[in-house]
Structure 1
Amino acid sequence: MTVLELRQVTKAFPLRLLRKRRGLKAKDGSTSVQAVKQVDLALHRGETLGLVGESGSGKSTLARLIMKLETLSSGQILLGGQSIHGHHMKDLQVYKSVQLVLQDSASSLHPRMLVKEVLAEPMRNFGAKRPPEIRALSVQLMRAVGLDESFLDKLPHQLSGGQKQRVCIARAMAVRPEVIIFDESLASLDPLSQSSIVSMLQQIQRQQELSYLFITHDLALARQLCDRIAVMYQGEIVETFSEWEEGKLKHPYTRALFATLEEHMDESSVENAEMELPYELVKS
């Protein structure tokens, strides 16, 4: 069953804004730059779909479009077969069904809020009113992400990087979403913390049939966690695949990524290796 579907999704930014932010100039006289170009993508129930690509390829813009933090230029985004834009679906319905976990867990948590307050806030926003109900669910969430109940009374500065990210994941789960988007959520963690959280996410997914959209530049991590991989290059999805066999890869950029993966990884450390994506694809 498809829970999230993107149809011909496009996002263009006015060039005048990008000139101010990044000093970009148009070579062809155009007045806008397409960050996302006619993307078609489907995420199924209980699936982990990896979105891989270099910095600036449009991955995070795509996540922001799904979360309605950016407006579509054209195309459709469907949640459970229903458009999330226009009058079809209220924002709160979208935010309850789709949650986002960012890379920087430290800035995602209010420094003066106890963990129990961090978890209680979204619950109250989406209907949980009684303190006993909120407390019971908070304890369940802590256990689900591998933290003791005592962490509910801690402040963010008392937590390690991995523990902060677990709290962010628990907060995302607090409203019982159908989809969680991870935007480079494990990138700043050490390999041991990454491996531990990956195992935790897989267990939670099996228990709750959650769907994950996993945005990453770490190909080894994507290979370990994801059921399918969508490769994004210059704003487009150039290939989607589920088997890591070089002979079955069609697009030159995907083959370049695969070659880089094989070059930089020793067979004995596949799950812990991380490397940079090739930023330029030489056209033959």
Structure 2
Amino acid sequence: MTALAIDIGGTKFAVALVHPDGTMTRRAELPVGPDPVATLASLVRDTAVADLTGVGIGSAGPIDSVAGTVSPVNIPSWRDFPLVDTVRELLAGLPGPRGVPVALAGDGQCMALGEWWRGGHGGSGSRVMLGIVVSTGVGGGLVLDGVPYLGPTGNAGHIGHISVDPRGEPCPCGAVGCLETVASGPSMVRWALANGWTCPAAHPDAKALAADAARGVLPAQRAFQRTADALASAILTTAALFDVDDVVIGGGVAAAGETLLAPLRQAVAKQAGLGFLRRLTVERTSLERDAGLYGAAALVLPSEERTPHRGT
């Protein structure tokens, strides 16, 4: 059995072949580029094999899992884009992989599911996991007893569009004060530049901001504290609704490690009230950039073939 896993992000697309034992092969990644469909076609053409079990897609949202469409906030040219049908058409043009099932879920949902399967949380007995992708945008997803909770449209757990500041900035989604307006990489950089940060690099980005925060540059540290406070508010709102055991953070901003996680854990501890909220743990993904690919594959690999990994 082999799954073709596709991870659609705001700035990059990734694909891989994934097997039920967790083996990943033929992994490839490309920037979205000016023509996202051409980028996707190139990756699928170079990665797909004849004996596919199915295709799992994790995409930045919002999505419509029933219609098979996506409208990633950070890919303006894709609005109600028929992603599932497009992938089917791409496969139809290749020798071999025709008529296989194609499943779609949010990228945050897939990150959470991949972490539960291959990151050790399923093997450690986690019942309810919240996964959060903090990158060009902010996405999320829930795994309940090893099963992704998608909701009727596939958007359950989309934590990036919980309002954390009713008087905050307008969000591209149309609402105001969403978590994404504070915690996404571009939002953090914009705020830092407007509040005294002078970036030493030619092109300011979240990586440069994290490096300066780690060096003790005050405006950069304040940007990460502001993000940590907003993330903690959204996490605890979700935890109060779903009685969450574990929170796993992935995405490019999470690559800052303890620069983000230390103030985030402190903010969660400070804001948590009820005892069941104080028990939740917050960790960075152990799978780095592969968590979403593992989760996408898990959408189409039979569950009885996927034994949760117990980690090391």
Q: TM-score, normalised by structure 1?
A: 0.34
More RCO (CA 8 Å, sep 6+): 1
